[in-house]
Amino acid sequence: MGTLTYDSKLTVTFDDRILAHLQVVIWSKVRRGEQFSFTWTDPARSGGRTSIWVSPNISLSFEFYGSRIPVINRQWIELLNKSAHSPGGLQLLPEPTGAPEN
């Protein structure tokens, strides 16, 4: 399990594999100076939802608890990127079934 910290005020826990994929998508958009929303459900809160506004001007940090970098599934990155570019913003979508691609 790793953590995403938003604006030094909100810290959320995600599996390292999920967090690695989110990092790829989020960093690519922030690098281009793009702003977008990111929404996820929190199973610990009986399905409650959290939504944040991601902007190059707001600090984000990714902390991974595992020492190994997960294999990146390009299909999943493409799905997350499509979501991030949609009017609803980035949604945490399930990983597509099948073997991860490098």
Residue 48: C-alpha distances to residues 39, 42, 43, 45, 100 (Å) = 11, 5, 7, 5, 29
Q: Could you tell me if residue 24 is inside a domain?
A: yes
List phi, psi (to 5°) of 74.
-60, -35
| Local confidence pLDDT in tens for the 102 residues of the chain | 899 999 999 999 999 999 999 999 999 999 999 999 999 987 666 668 899 999 999 999 999 998 888 999 999 999 999 999 999 999 999 999 875 554
Q: Could you tell me if residue 40 is inside a domain?
A: yes
Token digits of residue 92: 């945490």
| Residue 56 structural domain | 2-91
Q: Could you tell me if residue 102 is inside a domain?
A: no
Q: Could you tell me if residue 100 is inside a domain?
A: no
